[in-house]
Structure formats: structure tokens, C-alpha cells
Amino acid sequence: MTATPPVAARPKYVGGAVKRREDPRLLLGRGRYVADIHLAGTVHMAIVRSPHAHARITSVDTSRASAAPGVLAVLTWDDIRDQAGPIPCIDVYPDSIPVLQTALADGVVRYVGQPVAVLVATTEYGAEDALSLVDVQYEQLPAVLDLDGATAGDVLLHPEHGTNVVTTIAQDVGDVDAAFATADHVYEETFTIHRYLPVPMETRGVVAEVDPITERLTLTTSTQFPHLVRGFLAGVLGMPESRIRVVAPDVGGGFGAKCEFYCEEILAPLLALRLRRPVKWVEDRREHMIASSHAREQKHTVRVAVTGDGTVTAVDARSWTNNGAAYCTLATTPASISSAMLRGPYRIPHYRARAHSVVTNKTPLAVYRGAGHPQAVLVMERMMDIIAADLGRDRVELRLQNMLTPEELPSDRGTAIVLAGQVVYDTGDYGYCLRRAAEMIGLSPSWAAEQEAARAEGRYLGIGVASLVEETAIGPYESAVVRVDSAGKVTVLTGSSPHGQGHVTTFSQLVADELEIDLDDITVLHGDTDVVVDGVGTFASRSAAIGGAAARRAAGVVKDKALQVAAHLLEIDVADLEWRDGAAVVRGMPDRSLSLGELAVAATAWNAPLPGGMAWNLEATYQHQAAGIAFSNATHAAKVAVDVETGQVEVLDYVVVHDCGTVINPTIVDGQVHGGVAQGLGGTFFEEAGYDADGQPQALNLQDYLMPTAGDMPWIRTDHMQSPTPLNPYGMKGAGEGGATGAPGALVNALQDALASFGVTLASDGPWTPERVLALIPAEVDQR
Amino acid sequence: MTSARVRAELITVTVNGVPHEAAVPGRLLLADFLRDRLGLTGTHDGCAHGTCGACTVLVDGDAVRSCLMFAAQVDGSHITTIEGVSPDGELTPVQQAFQDNHGMQCGFCTPGIVCSLTGLLARDPAPSEEAIMDTLNGHLCRCTGYQNIVKAARQAAGRPVEGSAPESIGQGSDR
């Protein structure tokens, strides 16, 4: 046989560390965020917010504000109650008690920061000035802030319902009671997870305007899901969706805080319709800390059944989520995910969970990077360490013993996540990630001796691991349109609207590989419901896997059509053509080909009809539907040093071994992991949205609310493995949230390891501030 | 600004090489002057109380928080905003380093960091690791976890990009 030299394969973009195409514009200061939009004739909206955690509004006098120079309108709930329905919640359960928020308070305020009245003035400074002229009188009511108090029900936020427990989610797998009856060991712990916040660097903002010609409303808003906002707004205002255009311009981070539909997204459109002028509002940071969604706060009580050989047979879990004063758009998702995913990568055949959503006089709580996962991981991974310590087992070995193996997958876990569906783990090698992370961090048989030696020198070192499986790439679908113009340039429209994830780059990589063209020939458009008619959005680590799959499949349909057109033009069978380098090529005759541009021209209206009534133009629309949830997995491992004199914790080393299926761009995946870890680290050591006993929020700016800076971060070392999911043709899973999901568990376990000699058992995710760490250390050690 | 009774100061200021004369009310923030009066919206307001650093610009070569200065204070100054860092629209070595190292995601905090590093490198073209970390510790970024920003800064400073900072740098800064 004569060997023919192989044709050099076109280099693939997918899997490559392609530099981001969106960066130059942003680096040159040419980004366009909501606050940067200045339309002629713009007027400025400002919100009067409740200063009380719980109070009845006895009167609102707007006369002084209305008379202030430049003030154009002042509205209260009475002025808009007939025009605006409540903010929808899309993840309620059938038996959930509806506790929906209205755009302005309807007689009672239930948290500090709740909108009470809205005004518009000709200047931003003037609008702010006029706020103090709105005279609102309140009769204060007792506030309830903590889960135990709210569950007891002495103070009710909505007395008509008779309870503050507004949703209870049940997950039942196997026979939990029988497993406990035969267990050799039963462990019970209660964990508290504190309230902390997404805090994107860009706050929220909106610009609403009415087109004088079409009378259509355009709402430009800093959101993660413009298409859903369009639907929500249409429903709330009773307007046809066709009269609403929603635009997400450059969005400066979201992390869940912009995966919500907010009061201001109703108020600005209402005022624009009323005044017929563009209405602009940009949230200030103080407002953001009390009026954008909060996150995380939960309490978990878990009982765990273990047999003598260390097999974890059952978990019986109860959790309470502090939902704040009302349902957000996504309100039960944190509780749902925590309860569905608590067992993480472990077999644990018998499982029962009751997850309660509870209302209190705090800011409404919703999703934040990882949603309910970080809480679940903290609880389960703390329990694995507690069990290992009690049984005298190696914590890695105990985990491996209980972990699902690749051969056991797919595995129907018997639980379900609201909006996402049944939990069926698809692919992964959880044990590999754990073993590799343990090896990378130095968790070897000699670790205990190393730790002991350091302790003898007064250095308290600890290593913690946390293994996780996370729901990613949820459906129901994402849309894509791929269109080729007569110059052979390709436009990709995606319904997944980004806020830093790099969709323009990764989607270009996918489409470029499918059509075998250059990245520079591709334009990716998103974030405008008039340009991209259908879409879902960017959340739940879904964009690459669902939106990316839609884009690539649409490109594939275009390619197939291009081949059909080529066969028609060349009068040959399509089977005699192949696709190579962006062209239809006759097999065996590489010189005989038609390029994408030539084929696009041939498919336009001024050319001969296409065969068989084929639609004109090289264009395809594809809706990729998620057949199930893709589950990413990872193990995080952290090494910390505790200064027992100051309580300061230094993170010496941090390792993430991560599996998100097929990686489109490893640099972007690493960036996602780094950012998530920083947020988890911030929540573990610094960040807290605290309240005083009266319900006054204690973190009103970024000086009270400490977030990590560059110097607080360890150097994160990542390693990837790729277990493609069968749920899309390209094997991609989600990568956006795992960093935040795994960090609290790994860091708290590391702190526990460092302080174990003091006999403490950490049962909280922190924040482990120096004061709190110091409180764990016996005085005689402190004073050495 | 709500009425003509608010007194305005007359200032002369050069922004990105262009001289401007303006009557500014005493309370007008420099950030708002740049953004709203001059249309230079690359300067971002992330907190309005001097913590996040997104609004950083160079005033006579020094990195300042434009949300903590009044426009009236910059009379006679030369200001460089992100739009003026690269007047010809080509990425400067600092900007290029951000793209090369994926030192940005949403891009909101980035202009402020680029301005700070540009100021640092103008004063000291070969800054130490300590000087780099001192500069970066003045900025909040919520997307990147900072690692790739550190790499970008090191590249711009001509230092090796990989590896953790020497111990004790930055840890516990002002906390």
C-alpha cells in the first residue's frame, strides 16, 4: 500500500486557549454599560426606600417633592396599582404560599430598602435631592430576622397565611428509617450558612424609552436574561411582548444578582410611558447592598447513618433557607438545589430531605453562583471529615469508598431540582479528581507528621478537601441563528446573553470549527430581543453547553444546506461532496469547490431557485433542547496557616481539579474557576450581609462589606479532566459555578484541620474573620 | 444642579490632551464631569466611595479615584482617562497584557486597573512585585479572582508571569 501524505488537518479552535475577541474594545474604554447610555431628553429616576425592617405605611405626602425644581413626577403604589402586577416568581412549587413583591410597597414594608415611592427629575443630582422631600410616615412593627424566630411564627410577615414557612420541598429516596435502624454509627450536626452577596462591580441600572413612531417600549437593563425580562414585563404591564424590546448592553458581572426581575425594571417603563421621555436609573452601591438580591443564608440539620466499615448508608436532612421578605424571581432554587444535591458524589442509597423556605424581614434572597450547591457541599464535606475523624479513617479513603465510580454512571439519584428536572448524574470520574487534588495539595501519608512538626513550632497548618458534583447546563433550551452573507461572513445570534463569560469568543470557536472558517469571519450578536428574537439567558452554567450547542448545531444545518446548494449548482450528488476549509469540495477533485460566500450568493433571491422548494438564504435557526442536566464535578483542596495570636488565616495553596466535559477554551474555564474560588474565599473569610437586632443592614458599602483583593488570593493551581456529556453532541458541560461551589467546603475543612488539636468542630461556613477564629483558640495558646 | 442658585466654579482642565473650560457646580464629582459632561464613559463608577477603584484616572500622572474628587479641584490639571491611555486606538503593552493573560472578564473594573498600572509604569518602568501588588490591592475585581490580573501586570512590568507572590505581600492589607 502506498502511503499518501496526510492532508494537514485544519487546526481546531475548540480546546484552544484563544484570546478573547471582546477584550480590545473593553480595554480601550469603549464598553457601553447601562450607565454609559445618554439619550437626548433623559430624565432620572430615584427610589424612596423603606428605612424600617417591618412597618405599616400610615401616610405618604409627595407634595413637597412634587414642587421641587426639576421634579416631573412622584408616584406611590396607589398611583400604579392598576397598572403593574406583582413580580413573578418562576420556581414556585404547587403548594408554595405566594409571597410576591409589588413594584412599590402596598401598605406594609417588610425590609430595609424596599421601594416605597418613586420620583423623576430632570437631573440625577436633582432626583437624589428630592428623595428627602417625600414624607412617609410609618408605624413600626416587630421584625423577625433569624430562621428560628421566623419558623416559630410569633411575628408573621403575611398574617393571612398564618406561617412564615412558605415552601417545603421533599426529596425521598430509598428507606431512610430502615437504614438508620441498622446503622452502626449515627452522626448528627447542625450547620449555619451565613448571608453573603454576589456584588458585581457594575450595579444594576435601567433606561426605559418609548419610541415615538412605533410606540414600542425599549428597556435597556443590566440583566443576565433579557428575553425573560421581556416576558415578565409584558405580563406585569399587560402589554403584548411585541411592543417591548429589551436590551442587555455590556453587563458588568451578574453572578445571579442580575438573574432576577426587579421593581425598577417595572417602574422605569411605567414612567417612560407616562412622561414620554427616556427614564434612567442607575443603582448606587448602597442601594445595591440592600435592594439587589441577597444569597446563601441557610441552616441545615443532618443525621447520617454509617455502617461499621465506613459505608454511609443514609442521610436524613432538614434545611431552612432565609428567603427574606418576599419571593424573588428565583426564590426556591437555592433550597431545591441544596436538598437535591446534598449527597454530592457519594452513593448514599437512602436519603430524605425536607427543605423549608422561610420569609423574614431581610432583603429577598435568590441565586448566587452555585445557588444551593455551596451550602450542600459544605454540609456534606464537613460530615465526611467528621465521620472520618470519628472512625479513625483517612478522609480521602473514606470518600473514595463512598463515591460513585464511573462504572456506576449514569446514576438516577432519585431527587429533582425545580425548573431543571430529575437528577441523573451523567458522566465523570469523581475519584480521579479527588485523588489528583489530594496529591497536588500534598495530602500524603506524611501530612499528619508534617502538620505535627509545624505545630510544635507554633505554626498551625491545615489541609481541607471538598468534592462536588454540580448541576450545570440546564434547559429548557437555547436558541441560535447562523446566517451567511454574500461575502461569506457569518453572523451568529444567540439567546444567551453574557456578562463577562466570553461568549463572543467561545461561540466563535464552536462555529468556526463547524464551518472550518476563521474566527475573524464570525460576528456574534446577543443581548437585544429585537436582534435575537428568541432566547433564555445566561445562568446555571448553561451558556456554553446549551447556547454553544445550539450555535454549533445551527452552523451544522447551514453547512448541510450549503452542501445541498453546491450539489445543485454542480449538478452532482451531494454524497460526492465534502466540506473542507469553509467550502464544498468535490471528493477527489480538491480544485473543484464552492466557497461559503459563493454558496450564500447562490442561495439569495436574485439567483435561480433552489431545489425542492428549499428556503432561500444560507441561514438556520436551531433550538437546542436539554435532554437532561449535565453534571460537572471537581475536587477543591486548600492548605491554610492559622496565626493563633491574631486569628488571621492565610491560604497557602489552592488546587482545583475540575471536570466540565469538553473544554472549549481552557483559559476561559480557568478564569471561571479562579473567579468562583475568589467569591467562595470571600464568603468564607470576609463577606457578610449582617443585620442588627432591629433589622438594619450592617453592610451598606464596600468598606463594610469586605471582598477579597489581589493580595488575599492564593495562587490557584488547576488541573482539568474531560468527561464529555452525552447530552449534547459536543460533550460540553458547565464551568461557571464550580469555583464558588467548592471553595467554602475546602477552606472550612482546612481551617478545621488546622485547629483540630483544640478540639473544635466547625459547624458554620463563617465568615471566619480573625475575631471568630481567635474565639476558637484556647487562651493559653493565644498567649504563648 | 437643581437650580441656578447653585454656584458654579470656572475650571480649565486638559483631558487626554484636549483643553476644556467648564463651569462646574461645587459638588459635581470628577467622575460625573468626565462621564456626563465630556462623554468619557470608560471611567466607571462602581461604588462612589473610593473603595473599588473602577473610576481611577490619572491626574497629573497620579492615579486618583475620580469619585472622591470634585471637578472643581482639577482646575489647571492634566487628566488621562482610559480613553487617553491609548490615543491611537492600539492596545498599549499594559492593555495587551490583559488580553494576553485573560486578565478581565466583564471589563467593568478593567479601565481603572489599566490606568493605575499605566501610572505605575510611567513612574517606574520596572516595578517590584511589592509595587505591583500595592497597586492591584487598590482595586476590586469580582470576576477574575485576580490571578490573571497579576499575570497581566507582571507581563507589563517585564517580570515572569507565573507563580504565587512572595509570602507576606498583600496579605492582610489594611484589614
**What is the ipTM metric for this complex?**
0.96
Q: What is the mean pLDDT of residues A550-572?
A: 95
Q: What is the mean pLDDT of residues A388-406?
A: 98
pLDDT of A5 above 80: no
B22 touches chain A (CB under 8 A): no
Report if residue A555 sits inside a domain: yes
Q: What is the mean pLDDT of residues B43-67?
A: 97
pLDDT of B3 above 50: no
pLDDT of A6 above 70: no
- Based on the domain organization, do A552 and A529 belong to the same domain? yes
Window 663-692 of A, Cβ < 8 Å to B: 667-668, 670-671, 673-679
The predicted pLDDT at position B169 comes to: 41
Question: Which of A499, A706, A711 is the closest to B106 by Cβ?
Answer: A499
Window 31-70 of B, Cβ < 8 Å to A: 32, 35-36, 39-49, 51-52, 54
Question: Given the DSSP bridges, would you call strands A649-659 and A716-720 parallel, antiparallel or unpaired?
Answer: parallel
CB contact under 8 A, A253 and B143: yes
CB contact under 8 A, B147 and A715: yes
B171 touches chain A (CB under 8 A): yes
Strands of the sheet containing A55-61, edge to edge, are: A108-109, A55-61, A135-140
The predicted pLDDT at position A784 comes to: 46
The predicted pLDDT at position A614 comes to: 81
CATH label, B93-156, candidates 1.10.150.120, 2.60.40.10, 1.10.10.10, 3.65.10.10: 1.10.150.120
The answer to whether A489 touches A495, Cβ cutoff 8 Å, is no
Alpha-carbon distances of B77 from B19, B67, B71, rounded to whole Å: 10, 16, 10
Q: What is the mean pLDDT of chain A?
A: 96
Q: Residue B15: in which H helix or E strand, if any? A: strand B8-15
The predicted pLDDT at position B5 comes to: 57
- Based on the domain organization, do A698 and A776 belong to the same domain? yes
Q: Which CATH number does the domain housing residue A109 bear?
A: 3.90.1170.50
Q: What is the mean pLDDT of residues A44-62?
A: 98
Which residue on chain B is closest to A708 by alpha carbon? Answer: B140
The predicted pLDDT at position A9 comes to: 65
pLDDT of A782 above 90: no
Q: Residue A375: in which H helix or E strand, if any? A: helix A373-391
CB contact under 8 A, B47 and A706: no
- Based on the domain organization, do A416 and A495 belong to the same domain? no
Q: B137: which chain A residues are within 8 Å (Cβ-Cβ)?
A: 709-711
Contacts of residue A556, defined as CB under 8 A and 6 or more positions apart, other chains included, come to A514
Q: What is the mean pLDDT of chain B?
A: 92
A253 touches chain B (CB under 8 A): yes
- Based on the domain organization, do A614 and A660 belong to the same domain? no
Structure-block grid coordinates of residue A228: 425573560
Q: What is the mean pLDDT of residues A232-246?
A: 98
Contacts of residue A520, defined as CB under 8 A and 6 or more positions apart, other chains included, come to none
CA distance A295 to A118: 26
CB contact under 8 A, B175 and A706: yes
Q: B105: which chain A residues are within 8 Å (Cβ-Cβ)?
A: 253, 500-502, 671, 675
**Buried b vs exposed e over A203-214: b needs ≥16 C-beta within 10 Å?**
bbbbbbbbeeee
The predicted pLDDT at position B166 comes to: 52
- Based on the domain organization, do A135 and A240 belong to the same domain? yes
- Based on the domain organization, do A639 and A768 belong to the same domain? yes
Distance from the A239 Cα atom to the nearest Cα atom in chain B, whole angstroms: 32
The predicted pLDDT at position A609 comes to: 73
Q: How does residue A604 score in pLDDT terms, banded at 50, 70 and 90?
A: confident
The predicted pLDDT at position B87 comes to: 82
CB contact under 8 A, B85 and A707: no
Report if residue A703 sits inside a domain: yes
List where CATH 3.10.20.30 sits in chain B.
8-85
pLDDT of B146 above 50: yes
The predicted pLDDT at position B138 comes to: 97
Structure-block grid coordinates of residue A303: 443525621
CA distance A198 to A752: 26
Q: How does residue B131 score in pLDDT terms, banded at 50, 70 and 90?
A: very high
- Based on the domain organization, do A521 and A557 belong to the same domain? yes
Share of chain A above pLDDT 90, in %: 94
CB contact under 8 A, B41 and A35: yes
CATH label, B8-85, candidates 1.10.3720.10, 3.40.50.1000, 3.10.20.30, 3.40.50.300: 3.10.20.30
- Based on the domain organization, do A644 and A507 belong to the same domain? no
A56 closest CA partner among A110, A108, A115: A108
Report if residue A170 sits inside a domain: no
Q: What is the pLDDT of residues A644-658, one digit of tens each?
A: 999 999 999 999 999
The predicted pLDDT at position A513 comes to: 97
Report if residue A103 sits inside a domain: yes
Q: Residue B32: in which H helix or E strand, if any? A: helix B30-32
Q: What is the mean pLDDT of residues A716-739?
A: 95
Q: What is the mean pLDDT of residues A440-462?
A: 95
Q: Residue A447: in which H helix or E strand, if any? A: helix A447-456
- Based on the domain organization, do A465 and A488 belong to the same domain? no
A605 touches chain B (CB under 8 A): no
Choose the weakest-confidence range: A194-203, A264-273, A444-453, A741-750: A444-453
B5 touches chain A (CB under 8 A): no
Q: How does residue A530 score in pLDDT terms, banded at 50, 70 and 90?
A: very high
Cα angle for residues A130, A133, A139 (degrees, 5° grid):
135
The predicted pLDDT at position A452 comes to: 95
B149 touches chain A (CB under 8 A): yes
Total domain count for chain A? 3
pLDDT of A78 above 60: yes
A131 touches chain B (CB under 8 A): no
Q: How does residue A606 score in pLDDT terms, banded at 50, 70 and 90?
A: confident
The predicted pLDDT at position A11 comes to: 76
Amino acid in the structure at residue B175: R
The predicted pLDDT at position A1 comes to: 39
Q: A501: which chain B residues are within 8 Å (Cβ-Cβ)?
A: 105
pLDDT of B4 above 60: no
- Based on the domain organization, do A57 and A115 belong to the same domain? yes
Q: What is the mean pLDDT of residues A494-508?
A: 94
Share of chain A above pLDDT 70, in %: 98
Q: What is the mean pLDDT of residues A539-545?
A: 90
- Based on the domain organization, do A315 and A433 belong to the same domain? yes
Q: B41: which chain A residues are within 8 Å (Cβ-Cβ)?
A: 29, 32-33, 35-36
The predicted pLDDT at position B1 comes to: 43
Structural domain boundaries, residue A556: 477-625
Alpha-carbon Rg for chain A, nearest whole angstrom, is: 28
- Based on the domain organization, do A287 and A337 belong to the same domain? no
Distance from the A738 Cα atom to the nearest Cα atom in chain B, whole angstroms: 13
Report if residue A468 sits inside a domain: yes
The predicted pLDDT at position A616 comes to: 83
Q: How does residue A7 score in pLDDT terms, banded at 50, 70 and 90?
A: low
